[in-house]
Amino acid sequence: MQYFELTFLILFLPLVMLIYQLVGKKKRPFILLIASYIFIYTLSGKLLVYLLLATLCIHHFGIWLDANKKEEKEQIKDLDKEEKKQIKLKYLKQRKGILFLGILILMIMITLTKYMAFIGVNINHLLALFKINLKFKLSNLVAPIGISFYTFSAISYLVDVYRGKIKADNNLFKLALFLAFFPQIMEGPISRYEDTAENLYEGKKITYHNMCFGIQRICYGLLKKLVIADRLNTPVKLIFNGYDKYGGVILLLGAILYTIQLYMDFSGIIDIVIGTGEIFGIKLPENFRQPFFSKNISEFWSRWHITLGTWFKDYIFYPISLSKMSRKITNSLRKKIGNHFGPLVAGTIALGTVWLCNGLWHGAAYHYVFFGFYHFALILMANIFNPAINNFYEICHINPEQFFIKAIRIIKTTIFVIFGELFFRAQSLKIGLVMFKKIFTEFNISSLNWKTLNALKLFNYELIIIGITLLIVFIISIIKEKGINIREKIAKKPIYIRWMIYYALVLYVIIFGAYGGLYIPVEPMYADF
C-alpha cells in the first residue's frame, strides 16, 4: 500500500478519517497511532520492531537526560560560583555520554540495515590495498521502510532535549505517534518534535475547510506523480539501463527526464503527505519551495528537500563549524584574511562532513558519495569565488537580479543539478562517469529523432500530455514564487468556479494518469533512503 495507490486513497485513508471523526478528541491520537502501525506493518511486516525500539530508545534517553538536568539543579543549590561550575561540568559530561549512547543505539540500527554491506566492501578494499589476504562477507539486514527518516527525527528529538530546546516527553504514545505518523513514515518530511508532536496529539476534528484543502493538495500531488513522473518512468529506465546503446544527446535527455521525474515524484508524494496531514488538521513542514527557480546551488538546497537540508545544518554544519576548535580557527583567520575567507576553513570542514553524510544518507554506494561531493565542490567553489563574481558585477554595472541575468543564473544552476542527478540515478559511479563522458564526446544531435523517441516510448501524445502538465505545474510554481497563495485565491472564488477547478483537477488525473500495463509506476524512490 503506497500513498498514490487506490487502496490507500479510497480505502485506508477514508476509513481512518471516519473512525478518527467518530471517536472522542482524546482517543483520536490513538486512532492515528494504530492506523500508522497498521500502515507500516503492511509495508514492513515484523520490521516494525525497529520503529518500536527507536521509540522506546528516545523515550527512555529523553527522560534520562531531563532527570540528569533536574539532579544538576538540585546539586548546585546554595553552592558558590566555582563549585557550581565544577558540578555543571560534571553533569554536562554525563549528559554528553547519555546523548552519545542514545544516538549510538539509533545509528547501530540504521547501520545494520543500510550500511553493513558497504562497510564490508570498503574493509575488503583496504585489506587488499595492504595485501592482507582476508575477506569479510558482511551483508545488510532487511531495512524497514522509512528508517532514514524516522531515525533523523529521533536523533533531532534527543539532541533538542540535550540542548534544552525542548523538554523530554513522558508520554510514550505522543512520541510513538511523532515517529510513526503514517503519511510521513515513507518519504518524510523529517519533522521536529517541537513543530509537530503537539499538533499530532491534539486530536482536532476534521473540518470541511481542512478536508477540502487536504484533498486539493493530494490531487495536485497525484497530478505530478501519476501524470508526469510515472509517464517518464519507462523512457528513464530504458535510457539508464541501456546507457551503452545511446549517444550523448539521448543520455543528456535521460538525465533531464530523470531530474523532472525525481522532482515530480518526490514533491508529488510530499504534496499527498502534507495534504493528508491537513485533513487531520496537522501542519507538516514543507519540503520544496520551487527549487528550479534557484540562482545557485546553495539556494537550490534551501528549496529542495528542505527538511533534510535544515536537519544537516542544525545537527552537523553548525555544531562542527561553531565548535571550540572551529571558532578558534575562524577567529584567528578572520583577523588575517577578512570576514569572507576567515570562516571558510571551518565552514568547509563542516560542509564536507554534511555532504558526505548527505551522499551516504541517500544510499550506501559510491555514486551517492560522489553526488554528495559534487554538490560540495560546487558550493565550495561558489564560496571561494563569490566575492570576485560580485566585484565583476559591480565593475561591469550588472544587476544580478535583473531578469535576463537571473534567467541565466537559474539555467546554469539547473544544468548543474541535472548533471548531479545523472550520477545519482546511474547504476554505479563507473557507469555515471561513462554516461557523463559520452554526453561530451558522442554528442550527435541527429540521434534525437521521432524514431528514437518512439523507441523510448515517448510517443506524440505522451509528449503533449507531459508538456501540458509540466506547463500547468510551471505556471502554478510562478504564482507561488510571486508569493501568491493560489489555494486561498481559489477558495474565495464563487462556488461554481471553485468546484469546476476541483473537478477539472480530479478528472485530469483520472484521464491522463499513467495506469495500466503500458506503464510501470515509479518505485517510491525516497522510501529506500
Partner 1 sequence: MRNDLLEILENIKPGVDYENLNTLIDEHYLDSLSILSLVAELEDEFDIVIPTVEIIPANFNSVDNMLKLIEKLQEED
The answer to whether 477 and 293 are in contact (CB under 8 A) is yes
Residue (357 or 433) nearer to partner 1, CB = 357
What are 383's three cell numbers? 564560496
Q: Are 169 and 193 in contact (CB under 8 A)?
A: yes
330 binds partner 1 (CB under 8 A): yes
Q: Which stretch binds partner 1 (CB under 8 A): 111-119, 225-233, 268-276, 334-342?
A: 334-342
> Interface with partner 1 by CB under 8 A: which range of 8-16, 171-179, 311-319, 356-364?
311-319
Q: Which of 502, 522, 525, 526 is nearest to 226 (CA)?
A: 522
For the bound state, the minimum distance from the C-beta of residue 386 to partner 1, rounded and expressed in Å, comes to 8
Cα–Cα distance between 201 and 28 in angstroms, integer? 8
C-alpha cell at 350: 563542516
Which of residues 321, 358, 413, 469 is near partner 1 by CB under 8 A?
321
User: Which residues, at least 6 apart from 193, have a Cβ–Cβ distance to it below 8 Å?
Assistant: 153, 156, 157, 160, 166, 169, 175, 178
Give yes or no for residue 460 binding partner 1 (CB under 8 A).
no
CA dist 172 to 55, 60, 61, 175, 183, Å? Answer: 8, 9, 12, 5, 20
Interacting residues with partner 1 between 104 and 143 (CB under 8 A): none
- How many residues touch partner 1 under the rule CB under 8 A: the total is 27
- Decide: is 314 part of the binding site for partner 1 (CB under 8 A): yes
**Cα distance between residue 390 and residue 394, in whole Å:** 6
Per CB under 8 A, 342 contacts partner 1:
yes
The nearest distance, CB 187 to partner 1, in angstroms, is: 24
CB of 327 to partner 1, least distance (A): 7
Q: Which is nearer to partner 1, 178 or 317 (CB)?
A: 317
- 47-55, 313-321, 471-479, 521-529 -> range binding partner 1 (CB under 8 A): 313-321
Give 238-243's long-range contacts (Cβ < 8 A, gap of 24+). 238/455, 238/456, 238/457, 239/456, 240/425, 240/426, 240/427, 241/427, 243/426, 243/431, 243/434, 243/435, 243/438
Q: Could you tell me which stretch among 232-240, 294-302, 441-449, 482-490 binds partner 1 (CB under 8 A)?
A: 294-302
Looking at the Cβ atoms of 122 and 383, the one nearer to partner 1 is 383
* Element at 341 (helix H, strand E): helix 324-341
d(CA 372, CA 355) in angstroms, rounded, equals 5
> For partner 1, which stretch binds (CB under 8 A), given 177-185, 214-222, 253-261, 332-340?
332-340
Please report, as ranges, the residues that interact with partner 1 according to CB under 8 A.
160, 163-165, 298-299, 302, 313-314, 317-319, 321-322, 327, 330-331, 334, 339-340, 342-344, 346-347, 351, 383
